[in-house]
Amino acid sequence: MAQICVALNTDSWEEARALVEKLREEADLFKVGLPLYSGKGRDEVVALLRDGVRIFLDLKLHDIPSVVATTVRDLPEVEYVTVHATGGKKMMEAAVEARPDIRVVAVTLLTSLDVSEAREIYRKFPRKLAIQLSRMASDARAWGVVVSGLEARAVRKYFKMLNVVVPGVRLRRKKDDHARTVPPERLKWLQEDDILIVGREVTEAKDPVATLRKIRDAITR
Active site residues: 60
Residue 4: Cβ within 10 Å count: 21
